[in-house]
């Protein structure tokens, strides 16, 4: 009998492999990018195929300055829209690591990167609960709508803290659950693959971030998102 975590991960990989492999992303991705608050000037210069594959839940770079960042990581990068935007804000010679555990998404992320960029985008296959990156090697960790899919959230935040250098930042958009869900939803590995089952109450999310060793934790920007609430998360490793 497979563990709960491996059943959920199998469903998540199946769902995102299908979306990316068959290019069956839900319609309206470009509109969702603008509604989420991404700069319209940037969106105009971005291929519609990249905009159309967006599966995030908010504008990731609000008030984020990347001018002194050498290494950034986007956890659960999906089809690569945020990695492309992050690269466009980093100094020449910097690196953005686009990490996902679904190979087909990494193909999309590779296609989505700007071939003329002076910042390297490195697609990396890995699980955010066990990152294939060394301790203290990253300046900033991003994640858009992916922590909710982690089956072990404390492990995912612990790993984010481990790879960050002291003073490094965590910037994420994700979803929290502020109402009870029926037991059938919570006990179905399929529902966890669509975020609904995986999103946790805000206090549980904050606790996982705190226990991982982050400080200056802010969870704000609450916006209704289907049955859930989308939030912006920022935190710092060791002040
Ligand atoms: C909702 S999509 C968001 C994609 C992207 N961040 C965006 O905003 O378009 C979540 C992504 O997280 C990836 N993912 C889910 N669980 C993961 C894990 N444990 N480790 C790495 N990637 C994971 C999925 O493969 C998927 O591409």
Question: Which pTM value belongs to this model?
Answer: 0.96
- Cβ(80) to ligand 1 under 6 A? no
DSSP character for 10?
H
| Domains contained in the chain, CATH given | 4-237 (3.40.50.150)
Q: Is the CB of 151 under 6 A from ligand 1?
A: no
Mean pLDDT per 10-residue interval, the chain, length 239 residues: 90 93 85 95 94 94 97 98 98 98 97 97 98 98 97 97 98 93 74 77 97 98 92 93
CA of 101 to the centre of ligand 1 (A): 7
What per-residue string of b and e applies to 148-172 under the rule 16 or more CB within 10 Å gives b?
bbbbebebbbbbbbbbbbeebbbbb
Could you give the 3-state DSSP secondary structure of residue 2?
coil
Measure the CA–CA gap between 28 and 137, rounded to whole angstroms: 37
CB distance 52 to ligand 1 below 6 Å: no
Cα 66 from Cα 72, distance rounded (Å): 9
Ligand 1 contacts CB of residue 100 (under 6 A): yes
Which phi and psi (to 5°) does residue 106 adopt? -65, -30
Instruction: Give the position, in ligand 1's atom list, of the atom nearest the Cα of 128.
Output: 20
Which residue intervals of the chain are DSSP H helices?
A: 4-21, 29-35, 40-44, 48-52, 81-89, 103-112, 153-163, 183-186, 189-192, 202-211
54 Cα nearest atom in ligand 1: 9
């Amino acid at each position: 009998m497979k563990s709960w975590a491996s059943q959920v991960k199998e469903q998540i990989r199946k769902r995102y492999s299908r979306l990316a492999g068959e290019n069956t992303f839900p319609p309206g991705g470009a509109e969702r990018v603008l509604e989420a608050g991404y700069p319209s000037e940037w969106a105009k210069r971005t291929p519609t195929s990249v905009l159309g594959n967006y599966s995030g839940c908010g504008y990731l770079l609000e008030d984020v300055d990347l001018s002194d960042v050498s290494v950034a990581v986007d956890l659960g990068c999906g089809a690569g829209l945020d990695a492309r935007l992050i690269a466009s804000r980093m100094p020449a010679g910097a690196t953005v690591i686009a990490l996902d555990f679904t190979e087909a998404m990494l193909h999309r992320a590779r296609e989505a990167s700007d071939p003329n960029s002076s910042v390297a985008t490195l697609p990396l296959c890995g699980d955010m609960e066990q990152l294939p990156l060394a301790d203290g090697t990253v300046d900033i960790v991003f994640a858009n709508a992916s922590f909710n899919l982690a089956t072990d959230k404390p492990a995912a935040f612990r790993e984010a803290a481990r790879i960050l250098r002291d003073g490094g930042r965590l910037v994420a958009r994700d979803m929290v659950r502020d109402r009870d869900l029926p037991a059938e939803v919570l006990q179905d590995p399929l529902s966890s693959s669509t975020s609904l089952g995986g999103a946790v109450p805000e206090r549980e999310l904050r606790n996982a971030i705190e226990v991982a060793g982050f400080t200056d934790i802010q969870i704000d920007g609450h916006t209704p998102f289907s049955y859930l609430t989308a939030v912006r998360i920022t935190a710092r490793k060791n002040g």
